[in-house]
Amino acid sequence: MSSPGRTISDKIIDAHAVDMDSTALYREVRIDALLGHDATIALLVDEFERRGLEIWDRDKVIFTNDHFSPPATIERADISNKFLRFARQRNITHLMLDRGICHQLLVESHLCAPGSLIVGADSHTIMAGGVGACATGMGSTDILYALATGRTWMRRPATIRVRFHGALADHCSGRDIVLELLRMLGEAGAQYRCLEFHDLADQPLKQDDRFAISNMAVELGAKFGVFVPDSVTAQYCTTRDGHEPAPLVLPDPDAYYEQTVDINLSTLTPRIAKPWSPGNVIDVREIEDMPLSVAFLGSCSSGRLNDIRDAAEEVEGKAIHPGVRFVVIPASVEVFKQALDAGYVTTLTNAGAIFDHSSCGPCGGIDKGVLGGDDVCISTSNRNFRGRMGHWESRTYLASARTVSRAALAGRIHPGLYQCDDGNLGS
């Protein structure tokens, strides 16, 4: 009997293997790119230098100072400076100083190509799967080895196939899709699995929506969250790189899947994750009514142009509730420039929103909107664990850019945010 066909992750791992045992559970593989930021790369500098190591290929490394950009404390300034000194001394080609969040900068780079294998010193490196790459986060020790050798070891993950059908409503986005997947499978539902996304929707999902879904695949425990590349992928890469991508890596028709999950986009409604878990997801119409003090639109999960556009559409000609601080942080400087050109920054600013520099900011409780003990926040970030965005007693609800904006206008989270057919706030 012939063996089953291969999934995308099977093919990418096999194509990058440098060992000879194709049946091995663990494969030694070469990587196409390595991603790092100030907070985690700084952890390996001393050991890297103590061992007298060299960067395996400075043209395949993307470094950015996104956590402490600009630094808010003396301690963080020292960490940032240590990272920058390390990168500059080694002439890292793609050192992106104060240009945005590393994961967004990765997908804006030609190094993030369909079929590539990428590792990064941060769990949300997985977001590169939005263009058909296999990308995963690793700890600083593993990154040290990969940075010096261009290689690592990977255990071949089992694959869960996720198929999207139907038509996504105008008021829903990729954020609602991935929150629904979290509701269905839970935080450990894809533990050390590859989530392979098949876009069979009536209208293909936008690239920004795909990034949002791949980004939060790690919240389900996944090692990879990879979209089957298609015309949307090819168009994105062609526009970004100025030429068509190499032939796309597709799964075999008879590929083996551990599980198949189907999501009908036509029946999907806005979703929200309650504290203190990204998997604690319910329909917005089921949420309890409560006052809100902070709204956050940003992070690597949902700080892209389509998110800012959705928010601008919601608040145009209106005013943010006076009891709400609405912080907007574009995922990169390039996204910010596009939002400026489109007029979204003016619209949101006129409504009362605050724009901050492209960086991680409050998503990790770092700066630019950290929560206090009494704060209730609705956020487009990817995690709402206790203390993630600030004080241990603060509460964060995860939602889409539209839901965040509607709540910011209302001054509260409540089940009627999508009550009216004309798109205005419910009573």
Model pLDDT for residues 294-315, shown as the tens digit of each residue: 999 999 999 999 999 999 999 9
CA distances to 53, 144, 271 from 50, rounded to whole Å, are 8, 12, 49
> Rounded CA gap, 346 and 8, in Å?
42
Q: pLDDT tens-digit profile of 192-220?
A: 999 999 999 999 999 999 999 999 999 99
DSSP lists the bridge partners of residue 226 as 196
| DSSP code at position 427 | -
Q: CA torsion 175→180→182→183, rounded to 10°?
A: 140
What residues pair up with 413 in beta bridges, in sequence order? 290
DSSP secondary structure string for all residues of 269-328: --EEEPTT-TT-EEEGGGPPPEE--EEEE-HHHH-SHHHHHHHHHHHTT----TT-EEEE
Residue that is written with structure tokens 């950009």 in the block: 69
> What's the pLDDT score for residue 315?
98
pTM beyond 0.75: yes
Residue 362 pLDDT exceeds 60: yes
pLDDT value, residue 105 = 98
Structure tokens belonging to residue 408: 């910011």
Where are the extended beta strands (E) located within 156-223? 158-165, 193-199
The dihedral built from the CA positions of residue 82, 84, 116 and 201, taken in this order, carries a sign that is positive
Complete DSSP assignment for 60-91: GEEEE--SSSS-SSHHHHHHHHHHHHHHHHTT
Residues 169-182 pLDDT 10s? 999 999 999 999 99
Q: Are strands 376-379 and 294-297 parallel, antiparallel or unpaired?
A: parallel
In the numeric block, which tokens belong to residue 423?
Answer: 């798109």
